[in-house]
Amino acid sequence: MAVGMTEIDKTDRKILSILQGDGRIANVELAERIGLSPTSVGERLKRLQRDGFVEGYGARLNPHRLGLGLLVFVEVLLDKTTPDVFEKFARAVQTAPEVLECHMVAGGFDYLVKARVANMTAYRRFLGETLLALPGVRETRTYAVMEEVKRDAPLPVG
Amino acid sequence: MAVGMTEIDKTDRKILSILQGDGRIANVELAERIGLSPTSVGERLKRLQRDGFVEGYGARLNPHRLGLGLLVFVEVLLDKTTPDVFEKFARAVQTAPEVLECHMVAGGFDYLVKARVANMTAYRRFLGETLLALPGVRETRTYAVMEEVKRDAPLPVG
DNA sequence: ACTGAAATAGCGTAGCA
DNA sequence: TGCTACGCTATTTCAGT
């Protein structure tokens, strides 16, 4: 028997979809919207959590309200002749609070970094003291976001 | 009297930080961790929500578990001679479920799109039928993510 | 998957340091 | 501001069917 099931039905997807939009919805109300009893929905949800479909719950905070007005994407090219560049870069990125996402990509550069900072001054500091300070960083290209057209949309589950 | 206050203290930040990590924590436990009474924490949280610091709550879903194994970033260049390209593109992007984020950027291109799809086949369909089908799209550059080094880190509130 | 009972948590109010 | 304390309501959890 498998440790974690992977098959989920329409009802499970509906649960995930609603929960993604409102993580604090009461189980009774969730059950009403689904059309099942609270107990059944609770059991399904517990299974979905156990099997890793739901990783957790979180408050969605407004970055601008928190003074994080500038969103930037940074393309990073590494000098592959330097030893352990990838490991070192990956580790440094984990500890930098400004970095919200970092991905290794296939294409014209090596890493794509998404970061949020207060303003351009803060960004220059972050770039100089964090990104460029790392050994093996050969080149960076910064793209400042002028307008967030679509921000953190829910995953298409249904 | 102001409609929405903007000043938040250390305690507020602690509340936001904990809530960002666990959106379903009980108010009593949150109060314990903060070192205040549940009533006070409840009032603070209510204010933080009213003033727009907290936009909502949501379940964090595992995209890979849901069959969305491929994360891509697409740089999009628009043909500025076509009328209303920006408006049309922005509207189309809102309705596309594959698009998780879309930002207008300053620099070498116009929009940066973050999308999640099942695989390369699904991506080719999305690119051809959604992105390239839009009028005014002059060029796209696709960067497929090989490894998600850091994924959706919490905002640095504290 | 449902029902029903017991345990918990949340919410509003009042009064006080 | 924050705290305690109360009662009330809603919700979760755990039986058994």
* Strand D closer than 7 A to residue A29 Cβ: yes
Mean pLDDT of the B43-60 span: 95
CA B31 to chain CA mean position, Å: 28
Domains recognised in chain B with CATH numbers: 10-51 (1.10.10.10), 63-144 (3.30.70.920)
pLDDT tens column, B133-155: 998 999 999 999 999 999 999 99
Nucleotide nearest to A45 (CA to C1'): D12
Residue B57: which of A24, A98, A152 has the nearest Cβ? A24
pLDDT at B5 over 80: no
Say what the pTM is.
Answer: 0.94
DSSP notation for A20-71: HH-TT--HHHHHHHHTS-HHHHHHHHHHHHHTTSEEEEEEEE-TTTTT--EE
**pLDDT value for A6:** 80
Mean pLDDT of the A20-28 span: 95
Question: CA at B27, C1' at D11: how many angstroms apart?
Answer: 14
Instruction: Indicate the Cα dihedral angle A56, A62, A63, A64, nearest 10°.
Output: 180
Question: CA at B45, C1' at D9: how many angstroms apart?
Answer: 21
pLDDT at B1 over 50: no
Mean pLDDT of the B90-104 span: 97
pLDDT band at B78 (very low <50, low <70, confident <90, very high): very high
pLDDT tens column, A42-78: 999 999 999 999 999 999 999 999 999 999 999 999 9
pLDDT band at B3 (very low <50, low <70, confident <90, very high): low
For nucleic chain C, give residues with Cβ below 7 angstroms from it.
A 11, 36-40, 43-44; B 26-28, 38-39, 42
Highest mean pLDDT among A7-11, A134-138, B11-15: B11-15
Tell me whether B2 touches chain A (CB under 8 Å).
no
Residues in chain B: 158
pLDDT tens column, A137-154: 999 999 999 999 999 999
Residues 6+ apart with CB under 8 A from A3: none
Residues in chain A: 158
Question: CA at B153, C1' at C8: how many angstroms apart?
Answer: 32
Which range is least confidently modeled, B1-5, B19-23, B89-93? Answer: B1-5
